[in-house]
Structure 1
Amino acid sequence: MSIVKVAELAGVSHTTVSRVINSEGSVRSETADRIRAIMEDIGYVPKPPSRRRGPRRLNDTSFKTGNIAFLTSSESLKVLTRSPIMANVLQGIEEALASHGMSMVHGAVGSKRPLPPIVAKGGVDGVIVWPHLDAVSPEAMEVLRRYKVVYVMSGISERLTADRVRVNHGKVGRLAVSYLASKGCKTLAYVTPSSLISRVNLCDRWAAFSSLAEEQGLSARQCEIEQSQLDLLEIDRDRDLLIQKTLKAFLAQGQRPTGMFVTCDALTAKLYPILKSLGIQIGRDLEILSCNNETSLLAGLEPRPISIDIQPEEIGRKAVAQLRWRIQHPEEESQVTIEVPPKFLE
């Protein structure tokens, strides 16, 4: 089996297949998904970079070490183990780097936690950051300014401007309204943890949601839960009581919604028992649509909600492609935002 056969079955050139294998980021996500599905169906496994014919990509003089750092703004790397969505982003990053014969270094950095020594000493070629660098010390920021940086799943950072790769939040909002409207819902609720409306880019999701709802003659209200997305992954009775109090107050105001879009699966998992305790039958009294498609968080919910897939693996792959491009084109100064379209999974 060869790359030529994959190209023939996919109806594309072998160059396009090569770009998908090497995560070069210039192929439409729908086409890339089709090519990967065909490769899996026919059992085609690309050769590792070291065994491919032609020059190895790592021989590019732009890359000195073959290492990329993934930094999370936290005092501990435990934050990554608590977030299924970020595990998927990391998978995409690792796969893309491996296809280029490169390695990834994980690290946490915060106000009290310094940069990993390998980063501080210039032992990496570039840095991917999640979600921001707000709490990083001035000393660490000076070091990071020497590198090319790409943010994933984050909003605008004023401390260090750089390229960003994220889901298209406007499309997420419109997809949510379209789905709930198709279910006959006339009164919509948009329920989100406060951490997901505090960043500029995430406001696009609500703006698109409320705008399309208005266009279709539907009413839409927003309910903000005073929690961070990561707090929702913990078992905390006081926080759960706060969620219950906020939701009850929201439902008591105005007309009760018949359709609810919850902006992350972690919050959906918290809302299910609360809604049932209020006598609301999900699927009959209230249609729920979730987001992120984190299956481990939705397991056990009955009825299991539909969840929008924001394609975290593709976000990871495109982050690597953009960082490699940025390292190879250091003269380019303007920053770009790459948006990955969400998918609707039923």
Structure 2
Amino acid sequence: MTDAPERPKVATMFDVARVAGVSHQTVSRVLNDLPGVRPSTRVRVEAAMSELRYTPSPAARTLASRRSQTIGLITAGRPDYGPSNAALGFNEAARAAGYTVTQVSMREVDTESLRSAVAMMVRHNVSAIVLISGEREVIGAIGSIDLEVPLVSLASERVDGMHRVAINQFEGGRIAVEHLIGLGHRRIRHVTGLQDAMDAGERERAWRETLTAHGFPVSGPEIGDWSSESGYVAGVALAEEWRRETERFTAVFASNDQMALGLLHAFRDAGIRVPDDVSVVSVDDIPEAAHFAPPLTTLWQDFDGLGRDIMATVLDVLGDEEHAPDRTTRVPELVVRASTAPPPA
């Protein structure tokens, strides 16, 4: 018995994009004869399609020719404060620009569920898709789907072949740690967010690199998951360490306000005074942060502005996808309250 001959691989839009040296969204624009593609780029894409004998889906081309003033929005992962408010800001910006938004939200994400969401949006003739998810796994999953429309993602780390918008989380983390250093702190611990979260990774990287640049010790971090409960668990572990160490840490940088709330609770239970014994700084400036005990020093993030950035990038991509700029220069602003002070003598 002989093995059946292996079927030749059918070229995909991603193959064409790789050979032409462009994004798969640019290939889609060429296929559907949409504006915003330079003539030289169009020639490269058409040559790549010919070389690979690429055959596009007739149904997808028909749908693409009937695009509406609608944008698809996929929110994936935990409905935490930052992504939820970024989605709200984007919805408002889209309406102000005259677009309607078709939205799909999913807590648990896999490639097939994303593929189904994308297919539904293509059936609704969306002009573009926006992805709001801070998790690398989600970004990787949607990157494997052969999209027929442009994609813009909210991603604080660089993603090859994908237009992205972000607040500069690294710079925000650096500002938070420099604030503590400016007060005189030298031993600064960190409670990080989800390990797969890009924002958490950038803030942790800023914490490490800023301490290292000053020649200060780096220990940890404690691992959280964005929730107040995980902040409390991290706070219990840090409180036990604080009691037994001779050279104690004097400050903690928490990766979001919800974990900082749990951290403050754990320190209060352990008899550690904030900021007299340990200072705490965080990220997000949720509305309740000013009413924590003590009121929380934190980084305010302009989520309305972020939503406008996402919509502006979508419009740029629809106009000239090849040269649409990423918008990643917004920086969080430090809001100083009573949870930070100079370290004890």
**TM surpasses 0.5:** yes
Q: Deviations over 1:278-316 (max 9, x none)?
A: 1110010111111111123x3642111111013222222
Q: Which residue number in structure 1 is paired with residue 173 of structure 2?
A: 173
Stretches of structure 2 that go unaligned for 5 or more consecutive residues are 1-63, 337-345
1:85 matched to which residue of 2? 82
Question: Matched residues in 2 for 1:202 and 1:139: separation?
Answer: 20
Rounded to whole Å, the distance in 1 between the matches of 2:216 and 2:248 is 13
Percent identical pairs in the alignment equals 17
User: Which residue does 1:20 correspond to in 2?
Assistant: none
Judge conservation of contact 2:176–2:334 (CA < 8 Å) in 1: no
Match of 1:72 in 2: 75
Report the 3-state secondary structure (helix = DSSP H, G, I; strand = E; otherwise coil) of the residue aligned with 1:96. Answer: helix
Counterpart mapping for 1:284-323 below 5 A: 284-296=276-288, 298=289, 300-323=291-314
Partner of 2:91: 94
Q: CA deviation at 1:325?
A: 0.6
The residue identity in structure 2 corresponding to 1:175 is I
Alpha-carbon offset, residue 322 of structure 1: 0.9
Tell me the secondary structure at the aligned position of residue 106 of structure 1. strand
Structure 1 residues 138 and 89: alpha-carbon distance in aligned structure 2, compared to 1, 3 A threshold: closer
Is the Cα contact below 8 Å between 2:316 and 2:325 reproduced in 1? no
Query: Residue 224 of structure 1 aligns with which residue?
Result: 222
**Residues 184-203 of structure 1: CA deviation (Å, up to 9, x unaligned):** 2222112213x1x4456754
- The change in CA–CA distance for 1:71 and 1:172 in structure 2 (over 3 A counts) is same
CA shift, 1:219, in A, is 3.4
Aligned equivalents of 2:155 and 2:69: distance in 1?
A: 24
2: distance between equivalents of 1:241 and 1:224? 11
User: Contact 2:192–2:204 at 8 Å: present in 1 too?
Assistant: no
Q: Which amino acid aligns with 1:228?
A: D
Q: Are the counterparts in 1 of residues 309 and 327 from structure 2 also a CA contact under 8 Å? A: no
Q: Secondary structure at the match of 2:321?
A: coil
Whole-Å Cα distance in 2 between the matches of residues 115 and 140 of structure 1?
A: 14
For 2:142 and 2:176, locate their aligned partners in 1 and report how far apart those are by CA, in whole Å: 43
- Would you say the 8 A contact 1:186–1:258 is kept in 2? yes
Count of paired positions? 266
Question: Where does residue 132 of structure 2 map in the other structure?
Answer: 130
Deviation at 1:162, TM superposition (A): 0.9
Map of 1:3-152 to 2, 5 A cutoff?
A: 64-74=67-77, 79-80=78-79, 83-109=80-106, 110-111=109-110, 113=113, 114-115=116-117, 118-131=120-133, 132=135, 134=137, 142=145, 145-152=147-154
1:340 corresponding residue in structure 2: 330
Report the 3-state secondary structure (helix = DSSP H, G, I; strand = E; otherwise coil) of the residue aligned with 1:115.
Answer: helix
2:47 is matched with none
**3-state SS of paired residue (1:178):** helix
Q: Quick one: distance in 2 between partners of 1:167 and 1:319?
A: 11
Change (3 A) 1:240 1:166: closer
Q: Structure 1 CA distance, aligned partners of 2:254 and 2:159?
A: 25
The answer as to 2:318 corresponding to 1:327 is yes
Matched, 1:243 2:240: no
1:112-148 CA-partner distances (Å, limit 9, x unpaired): 64317640415211111121573599899545x2121
Q: Which amino acid aligns with 2:204?
A: W
CA spacing shift, 1:130–1:255, aligned 2, 3 Å = farther
Report how far residue 274 of structure 1 moved: 0.6
State the one-letter code of the partner of 1:266: Q
Flag structure 1 segments of 5+ consecutive residues without an equivalent: 1-60
